[in-house]
Structure 1
Amino acid sequence: MSNAIVNGIAGAGGGIVAQIITYPLQTVNTRQQTERVSEKSSGSSPAASTLVQLFQVVRNEGLGGLYSGLKPSLLGTAASQGIYYSFYQAFKNKAEDIARANKRKGRGDGSPGMFSWLLVAALAGSVNVLLTNPIWVLVTRMQTHTQAERKIAEAKREALLKEYSKNVLLKSSLSEELAELDSVKPRPYGTCQAACEVYNESGIAGFWKGIIPTLIMVCNPSIQFMIYESLLKRLRARRAAGRKGSINITAMEIFLVGAMAKLGATVCTYPLLVVKSRLQAKQEIGGNVSLRYSGTLDAILKMIRYEGIGCFYKGMRTKIVQSVFAASVLFMVKEELVKAYDAIFIKRPTAIVK
């Protein structure tokens, strides 16, 4: 089995483990990103801590609310990480071959440079995004469905109050109408319902909503892997120079290097992630034109106009905790799975062949 396929399978396994562990934080973070100007009327504080919001979701929707959309998310994670790591390893092999060829010609030290790592990660990320974006559109819809339903209910309540305020004779039935509105619970919402909703709204193109910021977001894993590979290279070089035992990198070191790499990438690209989530979430919220976006540029301009620059960083603290921890677990599990495969299936010679 080629090392590209092995790394792809290991990446999928690591991604699934990381996703299951950090999914509640991801759900809360997606809701934070998609909270819009109408949040003032929702009664919830945008500054509420992540822990408080976790408890609010459990109280209002049960424990299952934290795992809404988990099934397609696991499918998306397995597909995404599998595709990404397979292509990443294939492109990485090619970059290393080119670097070795250049060394034989007297150019370089035989290892790819930072630009090579950026290019490799960008190419792998672009292939991954084009193939898996529909899955993440459905995941975002499922994570924010209850939130969108709440916004729609609030808009109906405001419309009722406005209507009854103009006609004193109708005020006697206001309480009944409000009670009926409050009794309506969010509809069951699964993968099929989400897919039908996306298709009815925008057709097939709807499954690629947010593709522009998502493609630009390819620079996130590019930055992440540039930092990751560069740190590993420096760590191995320092080990080799110091000659202090084995030069192998431990699982904990992989965890820490992965955390540092993801932290740097997340801080650089977070505003694009917010725009992507806004585009992929349900658009028809309360009929307010400021809450609906026709495209990437429209979303950016409306977010700046109605909410200010700060909205591009909504939920960033939650995202940093979730993504850094998830990336660390993913890298650690992936490397351990690759090592296990090498130990089990690759027969290493026990004696030196002269």
Structure 2
Amino acid sequence: MSNAIANGVAGAGGGIIAQIITYPLQTVNTRQQTERIAKSKRSTAASTNTLLQILHVVRTEGWGGLYSGLKPSLFGTAASMGIYYYFYQLFKNKAEAIAVARKLKGHGDGSVGMFSWLVVAALAGSLNVLLTNPIWVLVTRMQTQTQAERKIMESKREALMREATENSFTASILQEKLDELDSTKPHPYGTIHAAREIYSEAGIRGFWKGIIPTLIMVCNPSIQFMIYETSLKRLKEKRAANKQGVKNVTALEVFLLGALAKLGATVTTYPLLVVKSRLQAKQEIGGIGNTSLRYSGTVDAIIKMIRYEGLPGFYKGMSTKIVQSVFAASVLFMVKEELVKAYMFLVDKISKVQLKAIKWDDEYSLEVVGF
């Protein structure tokens, strides 16, 4: 197994573990990002923190509500991490080989520069996005399904109240209709249902909604890995200078470096993440008749968000995302590095066993021929 494949498998394993641990935060964060409140209504809107929102979801939808879309999300995480780390390692190996070749020609010190790390991460990220975007469209839809259904119910209730006023409904008739409407409670739906809905709305193109901001967001892992690789390299150089060796980089230190790297990347690129989530969610979240909070594309979303919600709209749920993404990235880096170390340990053990077997065979052959 090549080191690229080993890193791909390790990345997928670490990504799955991190995803399971932090998924409730991710679900709440997606709902925060896709909630659309115009500036004129923001002052009267109730502001709830992440913990209260988690408790609200558990109370109204059960624990399953926090894990809506978990199955495709785990599959997407495994696919994304596997694809990303595989191509990242391939491009990293190439960049390091180019750096060594340049050093032999008298150019540079043989190390990979910051710009090269950015290019490596960007190339791997772009391939990952193009291949896995449909999975994340499904996940976003499933995470925000009950939120969208609730908005639809609110719009129907408002329409019913207007109809009652215009047609002079009696109180009993109005209450009967309201009770009938309230009896239909929002509930999460499955992967197949979500896929059919997306296809019925926009065909195959619907599975690549939000692809433009997502591709632009490739700079997120680029920034993340630039910070991580640079920090890890400096730490190893410091250890080597102190004659402690690179093996003294602990799992905790990798965890902290991963947290620092993800924090810097998240703060920089969060507005693009909000735009992407809004494009991938049901547009009914903005209200059935409210075109000001429904988007036809990336540019339309950005313009309307600036006009109707202002800059704060681009940072909704950011505190939740920082906690979720930083913790998830830290777990991912730590688990990945430990899995790679375990793989290298096994390879080393197998190699030693094979060498002993070859040595024994050679000695036995010499004894047979009388030497």
Q: TM-score, normalised by structure 2?
A: 0.91
Structure 2 match to 1:227: 227
Structure 1 residues 231 and 56, CA gap change in structure 2 (3 angstroms): same
- How far, CA to CA, are the matches of 1:245 and 1:90 in structure 2? 26
For the aligned residue pairs, the C-alpha RMSD in angstroms reads: 1.8
Rounded Cα–Cα distance in structure 2 between residues aligned with 1:187 and 1:22: 22
3-state SS, counterpart of residue 37 of structure 1: coil
Deviation of 1:245 after TM superposition, in Å, equals 5.8
CA contact (8 A) 1:25 1:318 kept: yes
Asked if the contact 1:164/1:171 (under 8 Å) is kept, the reply is no
In structure 2, C-alpha distance between the alignment counterparts of 1:255 and 1:180, rounded to whole Å: 52
Question: What is the aligned partner in structure 1 of residue 317 from structure 2?
Answer: 315
Secondary structure in 1 aligned to 2:121? helix
Deviation at residue 38 of structure 1 after TM alignment: 6.9
Query: C-alpha distance in 1, partners of 2:3/2:117?
Result: 18
**Does the C-alpha gap of structure 1 residues 194 and 246 become closer, same or farther in structure 2, counting only changes over 3 Å?**
closer
From the superposition, tell whether residues 75 and 202 of structure 1 become closer, same or farther in structure 2 (CA, over 3 Å). same
1:337 is aligned, of 336, 339, 345, to 339
1:294 to 293, 296, 301: 296
**CA displacement at 1:187 relative to structure 2:** 4.5
Q: Measure the CA separation in 1 of the matches of 2:304 and 2:346.
A: 55
Instruction: State the match for 1:145 in structure 2.
Output: 145
Supply the AA of the counterpart residue of 1:196.
R
The letter of the residue matching 1:77 is T
State the one-letter code of the partner of 2:241: A
| Counterpart Cα distance in 2 of 1:245 and 1:89 | 23
Q: How far apart, CA to CA, are the structure 2 residues paired with 1:322 and 1:71? A: 18
Distance 1:53 1:196, change over 3 A: same
Q: Does the CA contact (< 8 Å) of 2:73 and 2:139 recur in 1? A: yes
Cα distance in 1 for partners of 2:2, 2:142 equals 36
| Higher mean C-alpha displacement, 187-196 vs 114-123 | 187-196
- For residues 71 and 88 of structure 1, the distance between their equivalents in structure 2, rounded to whole angstroms, comes to 25
State the distance in 2 between where 1:264 and 1:188 align: 34
Q: Which residue of 1 aligns with 2:201?
A: 201
The corresponding residue for 1:306 is 308
User: How many residues are treated as equivalent by the alignment?
Assistant: 349
The worse-fitting range, judged by mean Cα deviation, of 245-254 and 305-314 is: 245-254
Question: Contact 1:68/1:142 (CA < 8 Å) preserved in 2?
Answer: yes
1:6 is aligned to: 6
Secondary structure of 1:185's match?
coil
On the 8 A contact 2:34/2:274 being kept in 1, the answer is: yes
Give yes or no for contact 1:30–1:143 (8 Å, CA) kept in 2.
yes
1:288 shift after superposition = 1.5
Once residues 65 and 296 of structure 2 are traced to their aligned partners in structure 1, the CA distance between those partners, rounded to angstroms, is 29
1:283 paired to 2:301: no
User: Any unmatched runs of 5+ in structure 2?
Assistant: 356-371
Please list every run of at least 4 consecutive aligned residues from structure 1 whose deviation after the TM superposition is greater than 6 angstroms. none
CA deviation string 1:187-207 (max 9, x = no partner): 551000000000000000000
Percent identity between matched residues is: 74
Partner of 2:265: 265
SS in 1 for 2:253: helix
Give the drift of 1:37: 2.0
Residue 324 of structure 1 pairs with residue 326 of structure 2: yes
Stretch moving more, 89-98 or 107-116: 107-116
Contact between 1:117 and 1:225, CA under 8 Å: does it hold in 2? yes
Structure 1 gaps of 5+ residues are: none
Listed one character per residue, the Cα deviations across residues 281-329 of structure 1 (whole Å, up to 9, x for unaligned) are 0013423112211100000011111111100000000000000000000
| Displacement after TM superposition at 1:165 (Å) | 1.7
Cα deviation for residue 168 of structure 1 reads 2.4
Asked if the contact 1:165–1:171 (Cα under 8 Å) also holds between the matched residues in 2, the reply is no
Q: CA deviation at 1:247?
A: 4.4
Would the alpha carbon gap of residues 280 and 229 (structure 1) be closer, same or farther in structure 2, given more than 3 Å must change?
A: same
Write the letter of the residue equivalent to 1:317: S
